[in-house]
Amino acid sequence: QQPVQSPQAVILREGEDAVINCSSSKALYSVHWYRQKHGEAPVFLMILLKGGEQKGHEKISASFNEKKQQSSLYLTASQLSYSGTYFCGSGSPYKLIFGSGTRLLVRP
């Protein structure tokens, strides 16, 4: 089952904050977050594991609520370079199912 991401798109001014949500109808054991710029490959940002361990980006944080089967990605003091499409992925270690993405545009 594909995770559901919200919002579908968001426009920010540089320096503003954003939250991107990812929810699943199935139990989540881990959640991956990736960012993809237009015409480029996805790039790993963060992984959250059951039990609270996180591995990833220094300037971007995330939360993982196992009971609610949700994860949220927090982008604080956004920079122009944060623009792109953000995908969450969940599932078994080898079979990630990705959401359809959240398009983020940061304007000067």
Closest CB to other proteins among residues 97, 105 = 97
Closest CB to other proteins among residues 35, 82 = 35
d(CA 40, CA 58): 22
d(CA 36, CA 43): 6
**1 and 16 in contact (C-beta within 8 Å)?**
no
- Any contact of residue 98 with other proteins (CB under 8 A)? yes
Helix H or strand E encompassing 13? strand 9-13
- Any contact of residue 35 with other proteins (CB under 8 A)? no
Measured from the CB of residue 67, what is the shortest distance to other proteins in angstroms? Answer: 20
Residues in 2-31 at the binding interface with other proteins, rule: CB under 8 A? 2, 30
Measured from the CB of residue 52, what is the shortest distance to other proteins in angstroms? Answer: 14
- Picking from 1, 2, 7, 27, the residue whose alpha carbon sits closest to that of residue 86 is 7
Beta strand pairing call for 9-13 and 102-107:
parallel
What x-and-dash track marks residues 37-76 binding other proteins by CB under 8 A?
---xxxxx--x-x-----xx--------------------
